[in-house]
């Protein structure tokens, strides 16, 4: 009996799922990643004890300086928040209108000219790589301080995001209706109207709402470079150390953005 068990155990061989070379490669990759993180921590001086030591300072700042908010400053905050919302709404509308035709020529199943397709894709990549704060600085230098420069910056910034998302959605649609329209002699416009648009409209509306959320949050930051919105008065009050007014701005901005996010998320859930 024992001899049979010994024979069976000798017949059972263990086969390694991964090779020794792969294990060493994985170990080296983990070591490199850990080394990069360690180097980043030392170069940025981002040690955990610095955060722990700063927690009492943050707490004292919130309790002693930011509390209580100056509710008498609420009317001024509401006006700037309305301007911020208008900037986000207008820029999102412009980008949604411009992104639709741009995303069509950025989809390989619609635009069959490989050179033109690649040019458009590279153009969208360039748009997405430029931060909105840099665009705001450029447009402030071009058209001056105010909400117009913020609207232009957000339009260009969100155009790259929205066109990229919609073009990828177009490339993933069911090719059946498109092939049927082309086989029956339909032109490109008919393919888009009857074959593509009915399939992408829910995603297109969902992405537009998502970009609206991004633009509302981004418009707050753009005010720091003079591009209008709530960011302008936030910067002014910080420079003058009016922390009671700053608390009012931060609190109302938080409530506004939270409400917009909740409504937008509910709408996107229904669309999807």
Complete domains list, the chain, with CATH: 21-67 (no CATH), 70-271 (1.10.3720.10)
> Can you tell me the distance from the alpha carbon of 121 to that of 215, in angstroms, rounded to the nearest whole number?
22
Count Cβ atoms below 10 Å from residue 267 Cβ, excluding itself. 14
- pLDDT above 70 for 272: no
Instruction: Please tell me the predicted confidence (pLDDT) of residue 210.
Output: 86
Burial of 27 (0-12, 13-18, 19+ CB in 10 A): exposed
Q: What is the mean pLDDT of residues 28-40?
A: 92
- pLDDT above 80 for 228: no
Q: Are 189 and 180 in contact (CB under 8 A)?
A: no
Instruction: Please tell me the predicted confidence (pLDDT) of residue 35.
Output: 92
Q: Are 105 and 116 in contact (CB under 8 A)?
A: yes
pLDDT tens track for 187-197: 888 888 888 88
> Can you tell me the distance from the alpha carbon of 203 to that of 247, in angstroms, rounded to the nearest whole number?
37
Kindly state the tokens that stand for 180: 């049927």
pLDDT tens track for 143-166: 888 888 889 999 998 998 899 889
> Can you tell me the distance from the alpha carbon of 237 to that of 249, in angstroms, rounded to the nearest whole number?
9
């Amino acid at each position: 009996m024992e001899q049979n068990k010994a024979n069976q155990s000798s017949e059972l061989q263990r086969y390694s799922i991964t090779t020794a070379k792969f294990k060493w490669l994985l170990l080296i990759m983990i070591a490199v990643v850990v080394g990069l993180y360690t180097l980043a921590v030392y170069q940025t001086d981002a040690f955990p004890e610095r955060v722990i030591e700063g927690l009492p300072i943050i707490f004292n700042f919130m309790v002693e300086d930011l509390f209580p908010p100056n509710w008498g400053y609420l009317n001024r905050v509401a006006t700037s928040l309305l301007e911020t919302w208008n900037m986000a709404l207008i820029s999102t509308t412009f980008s949604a209108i411009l992104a639709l035709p741009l995303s069509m020529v950025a989809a390989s199943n619609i635009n069959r000219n490989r050179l033109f397709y690649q040019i458009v894709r590279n153009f969208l990549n360039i748009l997405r790589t430029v931060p909105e704060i840099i665009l705001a600085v450029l447009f402030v230098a071009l058209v001056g301080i105010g909400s117009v420069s913020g609207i232009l910056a957000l339009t260009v910034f969100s155009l790259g995001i929205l066109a990229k998302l919609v073009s990828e959605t177009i490339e993933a649609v069911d090719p059946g209706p498109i092939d049927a329209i082309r086989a029956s002699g339909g032109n490109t416009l008919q393919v888009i109207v009857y074959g593509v648009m009915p399939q992408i409209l829910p995603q297109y509306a969902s992405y537009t709402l998502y970009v609206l959320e991004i633009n509302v949050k981004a418009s707050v930051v753009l005010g720091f470079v003079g591009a209008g919105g709530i960011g302008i008065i936030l910067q002014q009050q910080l420079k003058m150390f009016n922390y009671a007014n700053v608390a009012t701005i931060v609190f109302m901005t938080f409530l506004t953005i939270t409400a917009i996010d909740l409504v937008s998320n509910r709408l996107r859930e229904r669309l999807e």
